[in-house]
Structure 1
Amino acid sequence: MLIELKIENFAIIKNLTIEWGSGLNILTGETGSGKSIIIDALGMVLGGRSNKDLIKTGAEYAYVEAVFSFYNEDLSKFLSENGFEIGELIVLSRQINRNKPSITRINGRVATQSVMTYISSKLVDVYAQEENQYLMSPKNQMDLIDDFCTIEHKKKQENLLNLFEEIKKYEEKKASLENFESSREREIDLLTYQIKEIEDANLTPYDDEDLENDFKKFSNSSLIRENLEATLNLLRGDYEVSAVEDGIDKAVSFFSNVKKFEPDLDEIYKELENIRFNISSVYKEIESYLENMDIDQEKFMYLEARIDTVNSLKKKYGYNIEEINKFKSEAELRLKELKNFEENLNNISQKIDELYKESSNLAQEISKDRKTVSKWLEENVEKEISKLNINNARFKINIYEKELSSTGIDRIEYMISTNIGEDFKPLSKIASGGEMSRIMLGFKSIIASKDNIPTVIFDEIDSGISGMTANIVGKKIKELSNDRQVIVISHLPQIVSKANSHYKIYKEINKNKTRTYVKKLKNSERVGEIARLIGSEEITDLTLKAAKEMIEGVEND
């Protein structure tokens, strides 16, 4: 339940703290004193809309904090999974700043608006006068029925939604194919040409690097011969024995005279002999290469044409042979799809038909669930509103079949007859403001018993009622508060007299500034406030007596 509400710099409230009690909490006060502002502040911290205009004049921020005492296993799990501390209390806070973004916190940690809205929906159910319009919407009427259905029903709804998402995907694919038919032949011609061009090239791994290496070699053959011949001239020149070989021979001869006196030089001597042999061998190998070197002009022309072909394919289809072949495989697959256009179109159409059939069967099950719950809801709503002095009222839910959609095949309309002999008419066209408030209270009673929401708030639920009806509504609210906390803004003494905790909201003007205050009334003070609500401009002994009797009447019930 809601334990404490702190409000700072919100509208005409400078600083206000309310410590709430269990059972029925009622707020009273003169018109304009700030009662609804308190509910607005609570609505903001629970995830409602924020507006910088709500910041008190002269202040830089508005701050609201709500402290709840409530344990719910699912909610605790949700908090833990989202990284919030879990304790005996849940503290929700929100600060809106004049020149900075607003900040939302749960147990001291910054939270998103969506997380705050989800958590608050498990803690509080707020009813305001404008919520009467909620029941007028066919969509909301259906949602209310779905909320009373089983978990299995909700899974069916989710499955139906998923099926329609899949239908949409296939229908878009089908439309794309049908729109594409005009350009299909052009794409077939292009793909056929591209595949043939790659096939005609008869590419092999050789065409990647080896082809380019051979082409470079052939295109530079003259330069190769020229440099090899220059190397031979350096090694031997025009003589049989080159100056290089002659010099090495002499060095070998000198070392042979020395090594017999210095054995340590034997290794160097052997290296000189190897050098002499290697120079001769290199010479012979170069000479042999030059003799066998054949500049095949025809092969060079082939290589030149081949590398032009391969480079052209690389520019069009991929930077290497592997990528070109990958492009070819994808093009062949796409060509097959295009040539099998009719078959693909038929397959997609068949898939759509199957999905619609599955959706239709599921929608029938969902409709059956709704009809079952509707009968139960009809009985319970009639029972609740009859308790609220809408005598002889009959309530029924019409379920019409409509075209299959992601929500099913049902169109819902709430119907009511408030007098004997009157035909059923849509709820939106027959109920008065006072009747709508009581009907909504009846729904809230049923919803609260189902969802086990620990705190229910009514902002002027007593609009449009008086006298005996007000007393009946008060008793219903009191009954509702037996197993949950209820907070009510009311101006009717018949309802206010039933409070467990009574708060008076008042404002004072000091130095041209208006401030709102709250006071929890003692029993003696409650008598005076209820006497004021009875209607006299001046509180008299008679109104005081009536107020006291009202309170005592509740205590004796």
Structure 2
Amino acid sequence: MLTSLSINNYALINQLSIDFSSGLSIITGETGAGKSILLGALGLVLGNRADSSTLKDTSKKCIVEAKVAVATYNLRDFFDEVDLDYDDNTIIRREILPSGKSRAFVNDTPVTLSVLNQLRVKLIDVHSQHQTMQLSDVNFQFSVLDALAKNEAKTVSYKKGLQQLKSLQGELENLEQTQREANQQYDYNLHLFNELNDANLQTDEQSELEEKLEKLNNIEDIKLNLSEALEISINEEIGVQNLLNTLESRLSKIAPFSKEYQELSNRITSIKIELDDIVTELENANENVDFNPNEAEEINDRLQLLYNLQKKHYVNSNEELLLILEQLSEKVSHVENAEEAINKKKNEIQGIAKKLDDLALKISRARNKVIPDLINQLQNLLSDLGMENARFSITIKHKESYFNSGKDELQFLFSANKGGSFGALKKVASGGELSRIMLSIKKILSENTNLPTIIFDEIDTGVSGEVSNKIASIMQQMSRNMQVIAITHLPQIAAKGNNHYKVFKQDVDNTTTTNLKQLTLDERIVEIAEMLSGKEFSETAITHAKELLN
């Protein structure tokens, strides 16, 4: 319930602060006094977009603050969901800076306009004349049926399920598209994979084979040089090995005479040991050097295969070929396993679809069940509002397709005249008739929803006399379940309010400002008398005003 509204530096308002209470509150004022400005400011704090043109003084920021009592409306879960601190007396504040930028806060926590709009749906329904066009919107029509059918939990589950279904269907479409593209390349990729796989590639194989082939291609030079190296090492007359033996013998004889000779002797001994090892390896290498033309041919063929594969795949090494082999394996495997993944996704979709079908059927049955009661209530209310011949035809067809509100196709038709044919509301109902239909629907919704506040902006346009009394009566009935604020030009409605506020203009220092004040009983009598007969009202108007106020 809206408990107070504070407005600073907005349009024609310098500073305004007003408290509201439960029941039916009335707002009146002359045409152009600023009632629309009041609603505009309230719209700002509820999430409407704005810019610096709304500032009265463009050098200062505009601040609109609303206090709302929410203790009885089960909003804790919503506050947790959008990460806001909950307070039974919630404060919503909107600031418009001179630059045109705006900021919004809920209980001093910064929020986006999206959060404000989500919150407004749960707090305040502002109904202006143009919103009667909602009556022709199928989503609004479904929302009326669902409110009466207590379908809220089911429709929330359905919408989540539908979102999940669409997501899975998108994933399936991507899988199938990927498979189609992969299938086109499958045979070629499989050929490339088998070719590389059959090559049995090894990481260091290429360098080892190139070294081996180089050795085989130079086998004669290797053999000759190894033989000569052995001859130089082991020749009995001039061989290095014999010379080192002689040198070692000579130094070993003088080694005892000094440390210097001993070190020289030791070093020669070390060289001799190393040479002996070298000679042994030279002998082994010489024995193992053997030219095998078949081996050279095999190595050459193997290297040529590797070179051809590298050239084919635009790489320079076996390591890169092995990476390509891994990628080809994934592509081939993906195609071969795609059918399993697709079938799994289809099974998921079937499971979700089955749950959605069951839920949509329950929603549809609940809607059908309340249609007769809705028609009956609407026709009775409209009869009281001077539309005795108003008739409705509301039918539902359960379809195979999934819609945002279920699997139903809704036809909501109206006839205003006896014997007249049914037609769509926007085609066969006048503006005044649409206003009364909307009021009747809001009356029914007020008994079936938990909305804290509804604001009617001149919903009584185009009616008078006894009908205006009936409208006032309906608003009074609604105010037993919720806070109702009505902006009106009709004295019959103004007199029914528990509280009465007047919007008026003042000229101060050559500047026009809009103000709002709560009227006392005497002020109400004068205001209603003026609404009855104008500024120059008579004693009769005063008497009539008192009678209306009972």
The alignment's TM-score, normalised by the length of structure 2, stands at 0.81
Shift of 1:362: 6.4
**Corresponding position of 2:484:** 486
**Corresponding position of 1:209:** 204
Are 2:378 and 1:381 aligned?
yes
Shift of 1:448: 2.2
Quick one: which amino acid aligns to residue 210 of structure 2?
Answer: F
**Corresponding position of 2:95:** 95
Contact 1:138–1:411 (8 Å) recurs in 2: no
Are 2:424 and 1:429 aligned?
no
**Corresponding position of 2:494:** 496
In 2, Cα distance between the equivalents of 1:48 and 1:161? 27
Contact 1:397–1:412 (8 Å) recurs in 2: yes
Quick one: which amino acid aligns to residue 29 of structure 1?
Answer: G
Shift of 1:157: 5.6
**Corresponding position of 1:16:** 16
Structure 2 residue runs without a partner (length 5+): none
In 2, Cα distance between the equivalents of 1:373 and 1:46? 32
Shift of 1:128: 0.9
**Corresponding position of 2:535:** 537
In 2, Cα distance between the equivalents of 1:393 and 1:249? 136
Change (3 A) 1:347 1:453: closer
Shift of 1:133: 0.5
Quick one: which amino acid aligns to residue 134 of structure 1?
Answer: Q
Q: What are the equivalent positions in structure 2 for 1:324-473 lying under 5 Å apart?
A: 324-328=325-329, 330-331=331-332, 334=335, 365-400=362-397, 404-407=401-404, 410-473=408-471
Contact 1:208–1:320 (8 Å) recurs in 2: no
SS in 2 for 1:507: strand
Which segment is superposed worse, 541-550 or 50-59?
A: 50-59
In 2, Cα distance between the equivalents of 1:373 and 1:267? 116
Change (3 A) 1:168 1:279: closer
> Deviations for 1:174-226, whole angstroms, at most 9, x for unmatched residues?
8999xx7xx99xx76x6434433543455465533223333245347789977
**Corresponding position of 1:546:** 544
In 1, Cα distance between the equivalents of 2:519 and 2:196? 97
For residue 276 of structure 1, the aligned residue among 259, 272, 277 is 272
Which segment is superposed worse, 109-118 or 534-543?
A: 534-543
In 1, Cα distance between the equivalents of 2:224 and 2:355? 82
> Deviations for 1:117-140, whole angstroms, at most 9, x for unmatched residues?
112211111111111100022343
Change (3 A) 1:30 1:200: closer
Root-mean-square deviation (CA), in Å? 4.5
**Corresponding position of 2:311:** 312
In 1, Cα distance between the equivalents of 2:467 and 2:206? 100
Shift of 1:453: 1.0
The alignment's TM-score, normalised by the length of structure 1, stands at 0.80
In 2, Cα distance between the equivalents of 1:278 and 1:12? 107
Shift of 1:544: 2.1
Quick one: which amino acid aligns to residue 204 of structure 2?
Answer: E
> Deviations for 1:202-261, whole angstroms, at most 9, x for unmatched residues?
546553322333324534778997799699969966966776996797578657865799
In 2, Cα distance between the equivalents of 1:514 and 1:245? 126
Shift of 1:437: 1.8
Which segment is superposed worse, 352-361 or 277-286?
A: 352-361
Quick one: which amino acid aligns to residue 298 of structure 1?
Answer: E
SS in 2 for 1:132: helix
Are 2:134 and 1:134 aligned?
yes
Contact 1:232–1:283 (8 Å) recurs in 2: no
Change (3 A) 1:153 1:113: closer
Shift of 1:347: 12
Which segment is superposed worse, 214-223 or 473-482?
A: 214-223
Q: What are the equivalent positions in structure 2 for 1:170-189 lying under 5 Å apart?
A: none
In 2, Cα distance between the equivalents of 1:235 and 1:508? 126
Contact 1:313–1:324 (8 Å) recurs in 2: no
Are 2:157 and 1:155 aligned?
yes
Contact 2:52–2:96 (8 Å) recurs in 1: yes
Shift of 1:401: 6.2
> Deviations for 1:519-548, whole angstroms, at most 9, x for unmatched residues?
222222222111111132313322222222
**Corresponding position of 2:281:** 285
Change (3 A) 1:245 1:135: farther
In 2, Cα distance between the equivalents of 1:87 and 1:354? 41
Q: What are the equivalent positions in structure 2 for 1:502-521 lying under 5 Å apart?
A: 502-521=500-519
Contact 2:384–2:467 (8 Å) recurs in 1: no
Q: What are the equivalent positions in structure 2 for 1:58-69 lying under 5 Å apart?
A: 58-69=58-69
In 2, Cα distance between the equivalents of 1:413 and 1:487? 32
> Deviations for 1:252-273, whole angstroms, at most 9, x for unmatched residues?
86578657999xx999988875
SS in 1 for 2:466: helix
Quick one: which amino acid aligns to residue 501 of structure 1?
Answer: N
SS in 2 for 1:476: helix
> Deviations for 1:406-465, whole angstroms, at most 9, x for unmatched residues?
355543232334455545443333333333222211111222222211111111121111
In 2, Cα distance between the equivalents of 1:532 and 1:148? 41
SS in 2 for 1:451: coil
**Corresponding position of 1:70:** 70
Quick one: which amino acid aligns to residue 377 of structure 1?
Answer: L
Q: How many residues align?
A: 540
Shift of 1:335: 7.6
Which segment is superposed worse, 515-524 or 216-225?
A: 216-225
Which segment is superposed worse, 12-21 or 147-156?
A: 147-156
Quick one: which amino acid aligns to residue 68 of structure 1?
Answer: V
Change (3 A) 1:244 1:503: farther
Q: What are the equivalent positions in structure 2 for 1:255-266 lying under 5 Å apart?
A: none
Quick one: which amino acid aligns to residue 30 of structure 1?
Answer: E
State the identity as a percent: 28
In 2, Cα distance between the equivalents of 1:273 and 1:19? 113
In 2, Cα distance between the equivalents of 1:200 and 1:144? 68
Shift of 1:78: 2.4
Are 2:26 and 1:26 aligned?
yes
Quick one: which amino acid aligns to residue 88 of structure 2?
Answer: E
**Corresponding position of 1:36:** 36
SS in 1 for 2:447: helix
**Corresponding position of 1:47:** 47
SS in 2 for 1:207: coil
Contact 1:42–1:64 (8 Å) recurs in 2: yes
SS in 1 for 2:6: strand
Change (3 A) 1:97 1:31: same
Which segment is superposed worse, 231-240 or 463-472?
A: 231-240
In 2, Cα distance between the equivalents of 1:16 and 1:281? 107
